[in-house]
């Protein structure tokens, strides 16, 4: 009789340049969420993209964490006013991880920047700065100065989507910390949630594989609002393998 082992979930980190030398850094809340969902978190350093395939063979699932902007030429655009800081080492590393994970059907989830990375890696584009695209009078507040554990705006979840199976409400309220967003959706993904101003808040795979991309930050909410642990639990379930 096989027992189900706890799956290893690799979580991407980022390069923190605020110290004298760069550090690979990650918010602890991602680690706690994976542990609470029944997985074993493994923090992945920013490495050479050539190592992505071998690293993916060692883990059962992949979580792309939040962070800064993505270099616009990686999705075929020139920089525009409003673009923030980016790190092409991180961009190239995460894009490589995503592309190989997709080819091998490795369960993966992206949060905020991670959502955008998944879309870019699979051929989509981004809004470099939401106010440049959406009129300020029509825009929902997507980058408020409130704590990450506070709810902000509502989203509308597409009926029949995989995301709809994770939340009891079709219009949950989420937190929001981003100024970029998905624009053109990658061919292999489909929109599963939007905010009131039309900004894409979630993507998922068109086929049956587990590939979920969330623009909001459930890792900041689940301890206060337990329903937001559901995406992490879904990733862990998808990544489980018999031992």
Contact 93, 50 (CB under 8 A): no
Q: Does the model's pTM come out above 0.85?
A: yes
Give yes or no for residue 138 having a pLDDT over 90: no
Contact 67, 15 (CB under 8 A): no
Strand partners, 24: 15
Contact 230, 211 (CB under 8 A): no
Distance CA 50, CA 38 (A): 30
Mean pLDDT of 107-134: 94
SS3 201: strand
CA–chain centroid gap for 54, Å, is: 22
Give yes or no for residue 125 having a pLDDT over 60: yes
Give yes or no for residue 142 having a pLDDT over 90: no
Pairing relationship of beta strands 200-205 and 189-195 according to DSSP bridges? antiparallel
Return the active site residues: 112, 217, 219
The CATH classification of domain 8-239, taken from the options 3.40.50.880, 3.40.470.10, 3.10.200.10, 1.10.260.40: 3.40.50.880
Two structure tokens written together for 61: 């699932």
Two structure tokens written together for 48: 């050479």
Residue 243: pLDDT band (50, 70, 90) is very low
């Amino acid at each position: 009789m096989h027992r189900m082992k706890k799956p290893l979930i690799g979580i991407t980190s980022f390069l923190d340049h605020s110290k004298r030398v760069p550090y690979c850094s990650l918010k602890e809340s991602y680690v706690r969420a994976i542990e609470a969902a029944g997985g074993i978190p493994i923090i992945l350093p920013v490495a050479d993209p050539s190592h992505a395939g071998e690293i993916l063979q060692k883990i059962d699932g992949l979580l792309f964490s939040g962070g800064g902007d993505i270099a616009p030429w990686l999705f075929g655009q020139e920089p525009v006013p409003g673009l923030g800081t980016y790190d092409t080492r991180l961009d190239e590393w995460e894009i490589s991880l995503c592309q190989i994970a997709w080819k091998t059907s490795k369960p993966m989830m992206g949060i905020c920047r991670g959502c955008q990375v998944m879309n870019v890696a699979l051929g989509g584009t981004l809004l470099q700065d939401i106010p440049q695209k959406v009129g300020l009078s029509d825009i929902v507040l997507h980058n408020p100065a409130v704590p990450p554990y506070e709810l902000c705006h509502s989203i509308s979840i597409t009926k029949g989507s995989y995301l709809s199976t994770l939340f009891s409400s079709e219009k949950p309220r989420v937190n929001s910390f981003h100024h970029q967003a998905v624009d053109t959706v990658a061919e292999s993904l489909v929109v599963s949630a939007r905010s009131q101003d039309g900004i894409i808040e979630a993507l998922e795979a068109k086929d049956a594989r587990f590939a979920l991309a969330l623009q909001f930050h459930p890792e900041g909410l689940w301890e206060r609002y337990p329903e937001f642990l559901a995406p992490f639990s879904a990733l862990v379930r998808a990544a489980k393998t018999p031992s």
